[in-house]
Amino acid sequence: MKFFVDTADVDAIAELNDLGMVDGVTTNPSIIAKSGRNILEVTKEICDMVEGPVSAEVVATDADEMISEGRKLVEIADNIAVKVPLTWDGLKACKVLSGEGNMVNVTLCFSANQALLAAKAGATFISPFIGRLDDINLDGLELIEDIRTVYDNYGFETQILAASIRSANHMSECAKIGADVATAPPNVIKAMANHVLTDKGLAAFLEDAKKADIKIV
């Protein structure tokens, strides 16, 4: 499973990228706003840093305006994936932009029907939002399973990009289901390394090394 980092914090991206933990980056207007920087400027910096797809989201809601904004965004770098919402206008924009050879990430997906439409419209990525479904007492991981089944049934090449990841458990469950990509904040990716038994074992090893005066010099 590929890891995309869901942030516009270039320092956090750089740290994970140096470890080989970054296959791409996702951003949205909310994330860019938190960075306090110009959307085109920060997106260009991220694109120069990572080799994989960088999702940059349109802010228009009309299909023609989305297409215009998408064409502007892909001028930033070759690895831009234009992010459009899963609305009827968003699907129209996806069809045009993908038809022009651009990567398109269709976001805010909450049903298998929506994912099926996105694949038919030529989406490179579909972004089902796990955490937001969990927030309303629905099973976000079940949606990933449903989309995986639909896509595998018909050989769709659209990649499942699990989004709205809230925990390290979400990451492992998505991997087991077969999501192609999971995008998560840096702290969630780092949390995947944590385990209480690892901490306990390390503490014991260090205590034994101290008692035995073991030194590696």
User: Is 95 marked active-site?
Assistant: no
Instruction: Give the DSSP H or E segment for 190.
Output: helix 186-191
Closest residue by Cα to residue 157 from 198, 203, 126, 196: 126
Q: pLDDT at position 31, please?
A: 85
* 101 phi-psi bin (left φ>0, alpha ψ -120 to 50, beta other): left
Count CB atoms within 10 A of the CB of residue 58: 21
The string over 167-181, giving b where at least 16 C-beta atoms fall within 10 Å of a residue's C-beta and e elsewhere, is: ebebbebbeebebbb
CA-to-CA distance for 121 and 141, rounded, in angstroms? 24
Q: pLDDT at position 32, please?
A: 85
Class of domain 2-211 as given by CATH: alpha beta
Instruction: Give the DSSP H or E segment for 175.
Output: helix 168-177
Q: pLDDT at position 108, please?
A: 98
CA-to-CA distance for 151 and 63, rounded, in angstroms? 25
Catalytic residue among 44, 83, 190, 210: 83
pLDDT in tens, 99-156: 999 999 999 999 999 999 999 999 999 999 999 999 999 999 999 999 999 999 999 9
Q: What are the beta bridge partners of residue 103? A: 81
Residue with tokens 């770098």: 77
pTM above 0.75, yes or no: yes
Written as tens digits, the pLDDT of the chain (217 aa) is: 999 999 999 999 999 999 999 999 999 888 888 888 888 899 999 999 999 999 999 999 999 999 999 999 999 999 999 999 999 999 999 999 999 999 999 999 999 999 999 999 999 999 999 999 999 999 999 999 999 999 999 999 999 999 999 999 999 999 999 999 999 999 999 999 999 999 999 999 998 888 888 888 8
